[in-house]
């Protein structure tokens, strides 16, 4: 379980296609301070298993499902990635409950300056995910816990504060970039329960 509070920006060192899936290697520091082989690390909001640990880097294997549902297959060596370790039992839940199980990708429409280093982020949302998003609700975008400011006509808009812009990968995205989306899991449980009652 994660919180969507990004701990550091890592750098992709390599992306190696495999007969099934792929393996990536990421350079990092903070998230490696207490890592062990088999530990979970969220990479752009995707919960991955850290393996093949080396000084300053870790590797992770990507299943075909991960490649088809996330933007990790779009990465190239040198790209920055958002990194977060799992929530510890004594930690603070500063964002919201994020599983690291990405629901799908959205398309960045625009990242427009609002002034004073604030930004207005617009993302085209897949129709299958639109029903799980509400104004003032939580969403994870590339693993970043954010609050939906507006949702209409298949787009959601989010205000990005200076700290988030400076300490995540959002500023490196361009219109058309794919971003990982994880909707609030409570909405999905409620939908299933209501469907069972109606059935």
Would you please indicate which residues are annotated as catalytic (active-site) residues? 2, 40, 47, 49, 63, 101, 147
Helix (H, G, I), strand (E, B) or coil at 180: strand
Q: How far is CA 174 from the centre of its chain?
A: 16
Q: Which tokens is 135 given?
A: 């104004």
3-state secondary structure of 72: helix
d(CA 129, CA 134): 11
Asked if residue 58 lies in contact with residue 26, where contact means CB atoms within 8 angstroms, the answer is yes
* In contact, 142 and 168? CB cutoff 8 Å: yes
Question: How crowded is residue 51: how many other Cβ atoms within 10 Å of its Cβ?
Answer: 14
């Amino acid at each position: 379980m994660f919180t969507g509070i990004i701990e550091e920006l890592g750098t992709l060192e390599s992306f190696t296609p495999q007969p099934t899936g792929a393996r990536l290697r990421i350079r990092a520091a903070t998230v490696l301070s207490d890592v062990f082989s088999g530990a979970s690390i969220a990479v752009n909001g995707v919960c991955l298993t850290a393996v093949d640990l080396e000084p300053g880097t870790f590797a992770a294997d990507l299943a075909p499902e991960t490649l088809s549902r996330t933007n990790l297959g779009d990465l190239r060596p040198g790209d920055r990635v958002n990194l977060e370790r799992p929530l510890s039992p004594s930690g603070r839940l500063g964002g919201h409950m994020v599983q690291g199980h990405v629901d799908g990708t959205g398309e960045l429409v625009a990242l427009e300056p609002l002034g004073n280093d604030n930004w207005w982020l617009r993302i085209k949302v897949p129709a299958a995910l639109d029903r799980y998003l509400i104004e003032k609700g939580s969403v994870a975008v590339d693993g970043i816990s954010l609050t939906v400011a507006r949702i209409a006509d298949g787009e959601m808009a989010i205000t990005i504060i200076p700290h988030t812009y400076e300490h995540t990968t959002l500023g490196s995205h361009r219109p058309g970039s794919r971003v990982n989306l994880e909707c609030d899991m409570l909405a999905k449980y409620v939908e299933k329960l209501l469907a069972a009652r109606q059935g």
